[in-house]
Amino acid sequence: MAGVVRMATSDLRFPTSRELDGSDAMNPDPDYSAAYVTLGTAAGEEGHGFVFTIGRGNDVVCAALEALRPHVLALDMDAALADMGSVWRRLVHDSQLRWLGPEKGVMHMAIGAVVNALWDLAARRAGQPLWRLLAGMSPEALVDLVDFRYLTDALTREEALDLLRRAEPGRAAREEDLLRVGYPAYTTSPGWLGYDDAKLQRLCRQAAADGFRLVKLKVGADLEDDVRRLRLAREALGPDVAVAVDANQRWDVREAIGWVTALGDDLAWVEEPTSPDDVLGHAAIAAAVAPVPVATGEQCANRVMFKQLLQARGLSVLQLDATRVAGVNENLAVLLLAAKFGVPVCPHAGGVGLCEAVQHLAMFDYVAVSGTLEGRMIEYVDHLHEHFVTPVEVVAGRYRAPVAPGAGTEMLAASRSRYAYPHGPVWSGQTPVDVTA
């Protein structure tokens, strides 16, 4: 039996809070982090996966990864890669670990990292980038990856098969199209809450010059500031670049409605207006702030929550995340749900490695699921890419389709040792942050 002979986990943290990169109304001082896992086989193959966090607690995710070690080391690699649907179910439905969720939170995210590492290994073995490996699978093989438990009132296996079969004829043309012109991106780089007005305007002008057609601003700390920053951003961007806003869960439902109404009705969307678990709250906000679309998903715990948000019309832009739910398999379920409800997917990215990972899901969606780019964009933030073996390439406002084999998730070995927490050279000697200050 050729199985996983090596599983290594590491707690990697980047001190991004020192520059206020990534600052928003709820997360004023993130240190972008990865709970990182490497799987190795006796044949020397490797798969890399990670969970994105923003600092403290990254060690908790590493502990959750360790709790999966017995499952991982028991895998027969050939059998596992031939039946990833069963692997997913075995991990997610572990009869004791399941109590910690079920299917949400730290344990679920750790499962996602393992699942994504297995997909990385599968794509390398196939000599293909992940998006192409998935886009080359038959509709039957794709639906076998999905656990339809809890979904069938909204999406059955047969309906999912239908969706995938309908997209089959155009696959080759769309794949060519992606390789030629790439996938649209939008940028969040100018809009962090900790940046002053001059930096906001400078970065907005840069974004427009770089070819982006949508810029996202963080909002929700102070309404007057938000009105001013929105005006300054629009001045700098000109009429051809749309503006979305992101409250990062800052508001109660009524407060969200008032605040968004005050910001005007020409926003591209309002993102995470309230608690990610408040399905009915999202529906109330969406109805009240229309025509401004409501976007959410980066902290949506699982496919069941996405199902409810779609059923309740609580979102009209779906922002799946590569490392929040349990990996590629569950994100395939989410893409299928979005296609069933006719809602565009604009994945959450940024952080560390999220752009590298999620581009594969968006490109696969275009080729084999939704079949369209209408209203679709992948988030882009221009930092920390240099730590990856195959960093994203965003040119003229578009992601170039990656061609290197794998899932894009491998971080450079040098970065992994330099940013290891707390003993890597970047961290050793640092005074711990006073969390009560």
Q: Which of 48, 104, 108, 218 is catalytic?
A: 218
Provide, rounded to whole angstroms, the least separation between the CB of residue 68 and Mg ion: 28
Provide, rounded to whole angstroms, the least separation between the CB of residue 369 and Mg ion: 23
Give the Å distances, CA to CA, from 17 to 10, 33, 168, 189.
Answer: 20, 11, 45, 15
The nearer residue to Mg ion, 348 or 398, going by C-beta atoms, is 348
Count of all residues that appear for the chain in the document: 437
* Amino acid (1-letter code) at residue 290: A
Dist. CA 425–CA 429, nearest whole Å: 8
Sheet containing 33-41: which strands, arranged edge to edge? 4-13, 33-41, 46-53
Kindly list the residues in this chain that would bind Mg ion in the complex (CB under 5 A). Answer: 246, 271
Tokens 């491998």, residue located: 410
The nearer residue to Mg ion, 129 or 220, going by C-beta atoms, is 220
> Catalytic site residue 423?
no
Q: Which of 48, 108, 340, 348 is catalytic?
A: 348
Provide, rounded to whole angstroms, the least separation between the CB of residue 248 and Mg ion: 6
Provide, rounded to whole angstroms, the least separation between the CB of residue 144 and Mg ion: 32
> Catalytic site residue 218?
yes
- CA end-to-end span of the chain: 53
The nearer residue to Mg ion, 217 or 401, going by C-beta atoms, is 217
Provide, rounded to whole angstroms, the least separation between the CB of residue 187 and Mg ion: 13
Give the Å distances, CA to CA, from 71 to 49, 87, 119, 245, 312.
Answer: 16, 9, 16, 41, 37
The nearer residue to Mg ion, 119 or 192, going by C-beta atoms, is 192
CB closest to Mg ion, residue no: 246
The nearer residue to Mg ion, 80 or 219, going by C-beta atoms, is 219
Catalytic residues: 218, 348
